């Protein structure tokens, strides 16, 4: 069997793990790291395209099967999805997509199914456009999103839902954060261009740079030496909005994997102390790794921000960053498996956790201090509504988000939308991920 066919079989097994067993795509890919960089790149691309469009491809597959209600073994089902994704969403030549996918059947130890897989893919070539028109009458199928999420977005953002759904299906932009402690953005831009990398956009005086295509981080000039990190521009806004000053005591309450922790220290290296906590001890290793690579220092330990009695020393913080666990519906283009793994019933559970974290973090903030509520959700239930409920119940809290926004570049704020406390950044705005921020300041006395 060709290595190309073997890669498609591996992709099918990974897609099946996500679609049928609820495993995260990143975890499944991390567990299958064999092969050359080119082979791993193809495997990743096949998996992401298949998962990104899975809900539409699955609906199409039901029309392509010859018998109504016919079911396939999970791995075989996933292999057909991988084949359909190649035909419809990649520039892989159709003959190669069909032949190598059919050949992969033997690797799945189901050689008798080769004829069926070939027939399905050939029928897609003949009738795919016509069948696609039929299934695309359903907007959830057409955009490859779960129906509950389409409904929620249409309710929350009736005029922007189509653009959000479209942005979710794009390949994610590759944003960099230049470490201004080590090098000026303009100087790093020149290093990138000298290395042959095309820059598609920039923000923050070239300290946020978007490359025209994604590359391996080790191809970035000075990455190992800490000159640059990979971080979406929307996530980079957190450090600017929190804006710690020299001598401040700062808490990053849900810190892993540490991108915002490090950015805070890059912007203000003279804080008195920055404490970074997270409930996951395993994920905190990434915080330590990032700090070490960037030559930064923080106090890092595992703790639950909702249980301050177990770890807080009673000394108030001047700034608190609360990047809450959420549905991650603003970063679907980076984590396509959210479409398959997230459920409508998850949202109330997440909202309760978000409210709990906000209520427990507030007493740790000194009067006159600022707490930044951050979320990579675009659902109002997890953002505006959580913060609005908190403000209604907390007399000494004031939303100052709109006062902070003028400090940001105009090309960042131009497309933002706000109809309540905080500020929503909808997916695709200025090339950024979907995000939400609320600057909450504690009134003195």
Going by C-alpha positions, the residue among 361, 358, 352 that lies closest to residue 312 is 361
**Among all chains, which residue has been given the structure tokens 């030549």?**
93
DSSP state letters, 43-71: HHHHHHHHHHTHHHHHHHHHHHSSSTT--
Pairing assessment for the beta strands 435-442 and 397-399 based on DSSP bridges: antiparallel
Distance CA 304, CA 360 (A): 10
Token reading at 137:
């009458």
d(CA 209, CA 405): 20
336 DSSP assignment: T
By DSSP bridging, strand 365-375 and strand 199-203 are unpaired
Residue 10 CA: distances (Å) to CA of 7, 13, 50, 248: 5, 5, 13, 50
Q: Are 231 and 263 in contact (CB under 8 A)?
A: yes
d(CA 268, CA 271): 6
Residue 376: active-site member: yes
Gap between the Cα atoms of 107 and 181, Å rounded: 51
Q: How far apart are CA 117 and CA 385, in angstroms?
A: 48
Q: Which residues pair with 341 in a beta bridge?
A: none
List residues bridging with 209 in a β-sheet.
176, 202
Helix and strand tally (H, E) in the chain?
A: 19, 12
Q: How many CB atoms sit inside 10 A of residue 249's CB?
A: 19
Token couple for 217: 């981080």
Element (H, E) at 277: strand 273-278
* Tokens 């959210």 belong to residue: 338
Orientation angle between helical segments 384-393 and 346-361, nearest 10 degrees: 40
Write down the catalytic residue from 124, 262, 326, 376.
376
Using an 8 Å Cβ cutoff, are 431 and 372 in contact? Answer: no
Q: What is the radius of gyration, based on Cα positions, of the chain? A: 23
Q: What are the tokens at 410? A: 């105009």
Q: Give the catalytic positions in this structure.
A: 376
């Amino acid at each position: 069997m060709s290595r190309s066919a073997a890669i498609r079989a591996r992709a099918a097994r990974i897609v099946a793990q996500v679609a049928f067993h609820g495993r995260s795509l990143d975890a499944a890919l991390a567990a299958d790291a064999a092969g050359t960089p080119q082979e791993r790149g193809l495997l990743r691309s096949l998996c992401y395209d298949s998962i990104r469009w899975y809900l539409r491809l699955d609906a199409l597959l039901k029309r392509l099967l010859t018998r109504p209600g016919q079911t396939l073994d999970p791995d075989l089902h996933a292999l057909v999805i991988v084949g359909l994704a190649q035909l419809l969403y990649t520039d892989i030549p159709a003959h190669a997509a069909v032949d190598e996918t059919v050949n992969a059947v033997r690797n799945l130890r189901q050689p008798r199914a080769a004829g069926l897989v070939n027939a399905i893919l050939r029928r897609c070539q003949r009738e795919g456009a016509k069948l696609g028109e039929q299934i695309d009458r359903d907007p959830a199928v057409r955009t490859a999103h779960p129906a509950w999420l389409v409904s929620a977005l249409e309710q929350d953002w009736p005029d922007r839902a189509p653009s959000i759904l479209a942005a979710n299906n794009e390949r994610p932009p590759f944003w960099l954060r230049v470490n201004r402690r080590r090098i000026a953005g303009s100087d790093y831009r020149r290093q990138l261009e000298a290395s042959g990398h095309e820059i598609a956009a920039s923000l923050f005086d070239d300290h946020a740079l978007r490359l025209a295509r994604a590359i391996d981080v080790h191809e970035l000039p000075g990455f190992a030496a800490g000159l640059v990190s990979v971080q979406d521009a929307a996530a980079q806004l957190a450090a600017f909005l929190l804006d710690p000053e020299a001598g401040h005591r700062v808490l990053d309450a849900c810190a892993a994997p540490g991108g915002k922790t490090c950015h805070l220290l890059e912007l203000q290296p003279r804080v008195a102390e920055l404490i970074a906590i997270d409930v996951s001890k395993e994920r905190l290793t990434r915080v330590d790794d990032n700090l070490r690579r960037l030559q930064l220092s923080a106090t890092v330990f595992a703790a639950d921000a909702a249980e301050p009695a177990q770890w807080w020393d009673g000394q108030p913080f001047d700034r608190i960053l609360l990047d809450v666990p959420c549905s991650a519906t603003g970063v679907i283009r980076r984590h396509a498996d959210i479409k398959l793994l997230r459920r409508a019933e998850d949202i109330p559970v997440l909202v309760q956790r978000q409210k709990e974290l906000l209520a427990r973090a507030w007493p740790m903030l000194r009067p006159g201090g600022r707490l930044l509520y951050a979320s990579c959700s675009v659902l109002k239930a997890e953002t505006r509504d959580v913060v609005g409920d908190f403000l209604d119940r907390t007399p000494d809290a004031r939303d100052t988000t709109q006062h902070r926004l003028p400090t940001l570049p105009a090309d960042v704020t131009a497309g933002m939308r706000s109809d309540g406390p905080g500020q929503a950044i909808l997916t695709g705005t200025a090339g950024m991920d979907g995000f939400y921020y609320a600057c909450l300041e504690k009134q003195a006395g």
